[in-house]
Structure 1
Amino acid sequence: MPFYQTFLINISLLITLAFLFNLVYKYILLRVDALRLIPEQVRPAALAAVFIFAGWVTMVFGLRLREEVIFDLRAVPLIIGLFVFRHPAWLTVIGLGIGLSRFTFGYSDAAVVGCFNLTILGLLCMELSIRFQHSDRSFWWKLGVGIFSVNLLNAVNLALFGVVPGKIYMLGIFPITFPLGMALSYLFAFILYDFYMEKERTAQLRDSHERLLVQRSELQEAKEALEDKARQLILASRHKSEFLANMSHELKTPLHSIILLSQLLADQHEGRWTEEELQDLSIIRSSGEGLLRQVNDILDLSMVEAGNMEIHSEDISIAEIPQILQHQFQEEASRKEIRLKMDVDPHLPALICTDGLRLHQILRNLLSNAIKFTTEGSVVFDIRLAGPESRKCEGDWIAFSVRDTGIGIEESKQRLIFEAFRQVDGSISRRYGGLGLGLSISLELAKLLGGRLSLSSQEGRGSTFTLYLPAGSHIHL
């Protein structure tokens, strides 16, 4: 009966200490920890001191067979420490601390054995903790291994090195203390399971909080880096636009002079030039005009990208559009022996409210490309009311289509041609010339006019480019 009374007193004291510690941990230590008032290295040391104190208390109320022999549950704090301390070395510290506290009851052979026993148990728990941290086993499996291993080694040490003769211990004490110690260790561990789970949840929340802080810091750094890159891109775009504007101005002035002088010389030759020299003057003028168009394209593209392109809406006569385009491109089409046809839907309104300059610029680009990439057949320009299948918004829309029987574009490369300085392949620019800016500028201008530009094409069977514009005054300024 004294064994039962002693162990029940021990377990009651340990439960009381655990309950008090749980209250202090939840309502004081966690809040203090959140405020970072206790240094990181002090916290496990303070917790180890509490465990050593718990082991010492069990000895105070332990069973004294003789003056120097004490039976108690001093090993239980080590078992619980297996699931509390992250760093296994603290278990050795606790075992040694509890063992040394045995000397507070006087120096004796039993005290030396007790100190040795708890030190060995501390080393065992350290090894078990290391293995448990690398194991995927459940909490209860680890708990069972820990309780059995510690209680069994404790019994073996007492039987081999204890002051009570081994035979007497194994026959009279072990059959009672071992199963009772096992049962009470399980009971205490079960009671502390809530504390263990609370500790695990707290550790997980702390780890998650720390990860979130790191991620927030990384996101802030990434945001600042992106903002810096954005500022650099804006500055680079501004510098590029300014450079292109200045370059275009510097190039356009001499180009205008070259074009005008070549035209003037050709018009006033009065028999001074031979046919070959007149042809050379014509080449000079046409080359200068081509270069001037490319310079204007570069300038327009830079203005669109910088957001400096201004749109001026006005009422434009729809009937005049095909007449102007016919006059501009008929000669070129005849030279290539291509039939140029203009179709206008008679049900169209008389006027369309848009920017006439930019509308003609888009249509000129489309017709110029159609004639350039068509070697035989026809190029058809038509204006009609857009069908329901082509409308992206409500209201009346007008479609301006350019169809040709030229080289066509394979489907995989149809998006590519709308990018600046890009054509279907390098041989296209070498064979037909051009910088590949016309469609890119036309696409952006179509958006500024409140419309869109579409493409339908098959390689070797021609292409159809269609500009859709609202019939009203829905223009993005």
Structure 2
Amino acid sequence: MWRMISTTTALENCHVDILSQFQVRANLVIPIICQDVLWGLLCIHQCDGPRHWEQSDIDLAQQFSFQLAIAIQQSNLFEQLQQELRERQQAQQQLTQRNEELIRAKRLKDEFLANMSHELRTPLNAILGMTEGLQEEVFGPVNDRQLKALQTVERSASHLLALINDILDVAKIESGQVELECSPTAIAPLCKSSIAFIKQQALKKRIQLSVNLPLKLPDIILDERRIRQVLINLLNNAVKFTPEGGSITLEVILPQPREAEGESPYLRFSVRDTGIGISPENIKKLFQPFMQIDSALNRQYQGTGLGLALTKQIVELHGGRVGLTSEVLLGSCFSIDLPYQASVMIPQRMDSDQRFKP
């Protein structure tokens, strides 16, 4: 670990010249080892005369060498730490910049969709209005062939308008622009109005519709328009994927509060059908935006794949949850659980034309 070198032994001429220049008469050299690597040499000189280095001198020099090695190692570690911190700060700055770019891109997308909302809906409303006027012969008589063509135009325009509305609704919810307008809502009228919306479609396919509601249902705090949209989405899907002669049931279940399990009471809406069903591997895909589970079904059943994504987002905005059980060829059961407000959970009395009051 150490060497003792005189001014005249084991030295090159250049080294002797340097030592002579500084009038070095005795020289002690100790290596400085950092992590098994020779970092440098610790040289101790005596200039006033020759010296025989004692073991205590050598031990002291070795201690200095060890301390220098530790200091050098700590300095290297500190520099590595500083370098890591600089790299992390740089990565954080890049991440912040990317997030700002994503936020800006999202804002521009939202602004674009808001502008397109007006630009797309205005001509479509004009098309629908003119088509309705032509069918009612406001502008003169039309024959059966023309009437059939007008009905095709109206269906296509209505379908396109529905797709545009779905896309805009998803964009608004994702951007946090949707605010729920909640108020006490009677459940029975909500269910009946939702069923009425799909009644004609079901009749065309000879699908049997039924509504199961318990007696003395309380009012519940929710956004009536949005939850009606959810129920209509689920019922529309049930009609779409249920073969002729099948059945669809809208049911409301009022379970007991589950406070012991740490869960607040909820009201469950279920839409059960005898349709084509969904395989287990496809269930997870259903609630993702723009996701349709089967290309063959895409061609047979039109849609954007947004209805269930909207349903999930609206229900979760209410603090609720969406569930699904299904079996291929036997049917599906979609459920939504909406939490109660404690003030309206248990009704005492309800008049025939009056809602519950907390």
TM-score per shorter chain, which class?
0.7 to 0.9
TM-score (norm 2): 0.78
The answer to whether the Cα contact below 8 Å between 2:277 and 2:332 also exists between their aligned partners in 1 is yes
Evaluate the alpha carbon distance shift between residue 334 and residue 449 of structure 1 in structure 2; reply closer, same or farther with a 3 A threshold.
same
Aligned to 2:221: 353
- Per-residue CA deviations over 1:41-88 (Å, capped at 9, x if unaligned) read xxxxxxx9xxx89xx97x55xxxxxxxxxxxxx5x52xx215379985
Candidates 18, 22, 31, aligned match of 1:81:
31
The answer to whether the Cα contact below 8 Å between 1:417 and 1:424 also exists between their aligned partners in 2 is yes
Aligned to 2:83: 214
Aligned to 2:137: 268
Aligned to 1:297: 166
Identity of aligned residues (%): 32
Q: Does 1:383 align with 2:333?
A: no
Q: Does 1:367 align with 2:317?
A: no
What is the 5 A alignment of 1:184-263?
A: 195-263=64-132
Unaligned stretches of 5+ residues in structure 2: 5-14, 344-358
The answer to whether the Cα contact below 8 Å between 1:402 and 1:466 also exists between their aligned partners in 2 is yes
Distance 1:439 1:392 in 2: 29
Unaligned stretches of 5+ residues in structure 1: 1-9, 11-47, 61-73, 107-176
The answer to whether the Cα contact below 8 Å between 1:454 and 1:465 also exists between their aligned partners in 2 is yes
Deviation for aligned residue 1:463: 2.2
The answer to whether the Cα contact below 8 Å between 1:313 and 1:473 also exists between their aligned partners in 2 is no
Evaluate the alpha carbon distance shift between residue 392 and residue 308 of structure 1 in structure 2; reply closer, same or farther with a 3 A threshold.
farther
- Per-residue CA deviations over 1:81-134 (Å, capped at 9, x if unaligned) read 15379985955x96xx98xx99x989xxxxxxxxxxxxxxxxxxxxxxxxxxxx
TM-score (norm 1): 0.60
Deviation for aligned residue 1:246: 1.2
Which amino acid in structure 2 is aligned with residue 337 of structure 1? R
Higher relative contact order (CA 8 A, sep 6+): 2
Distance 1:310 1:235 in 2: 22
Distance 1:277 1:196 in 2: 103
Which amino acid in structure 2 is aligned with residue 329 of structure 1? I
Deviation for aligned residue 1:198: 3.7
Candidates 254, 277, 280, aligned match of 1:408:
277
Deviation for aligned residue 1:212: 1.8
Larger deviation, residues 372-381 vs 234-243: 372-381
Q: Does 1:338 align with 2:207?
A: yes
Q: Does 1:471 align with 2:301?
A: no
Distance 1:252 1:389 in 2: 46
Deviation for aligned residue 1:221: 1.2
What is the 5 A alignment of 1:441-460?
A: 441-460=310-329
Relative to its length, the structure with more helix (as a share) is 1
Which amino acid in structure 2 is aligned with residue 433 of structure 1? Q
Pairwise CA RMSD:
3.7
Evaluate the alpha carbon distance shift between residue 408 and residue 206 of structure 1 in structure 2; reply closer, same or farther with a 3 A threshold.
farther
The answer to whether the Cα contact below 8 Å between 1:386 and 1:468 also exists between their aligned partners in 2 is no
Relative to its length, the structure with more strand (as a share) is 2
Say which SS state the counterpart of residue 315 (structure 1) adopts: strand
Distance 1:441 1:391 in 2: 32
Which amino acid in structure 2 is aligned with residue 362 of structure 1? V
